[in-house]
Amino acid sequence: MRGHYELKLSSGDKIQLQFCTWSLKRFCKLQGIGPAEIGDALNGTDSLEAIANLLRSAAEYPLYKQGLTPEFTDIDACDWIDEVGSIFQTDGQIIDYVKYIVSTTVLNIKGNTKEEKKKPNKAKLG
């Protein structure tokens, strides 16, 4: 799971986003949830908070990976959302990024959980 994405702001700045295991862990920590709850967080009543945390987590990873400490906050992440047209722009960068995350991560997590439930819990003896 390594999703590279570049958020292109109206100011001309570009924010490098990378959604990977670390950024998933960071997102879950910021949200106070487990990985299986990502879809619910992004679709729930607090989805704006989740989307801001998703962007923040994905933007932090490339910097930490380079040994740098990010100096942006959740306010900055919300400003990025505003600069690209909000979370409501159906053909916008935020919706595209969330769709990518959901299709490559959330669906796989939920799919694995369902498959595990279908497996019989019996051991064959003798």
pLDDT, tens digit, 9 for 90 and up, residues 79-102? 988 888 776 666 677 777 777 766
Torsion, Cα of 102, 50, 34, 98 (10° steps)? 10
Q: Average pLDDT in the 39-58 region?
A: 86
Q: Average pLDDT in the 18-30 region?
A: 91
pTM: 0.72
Angstrom distances, CA of residue 124 to CA of 27, 115, 119, 120, 121: 41, 20, 13, 11, 10
Return the amino acid letter for 11.
Answer: S
Q: Average pLDDT in the 40-53 region?
A: 84
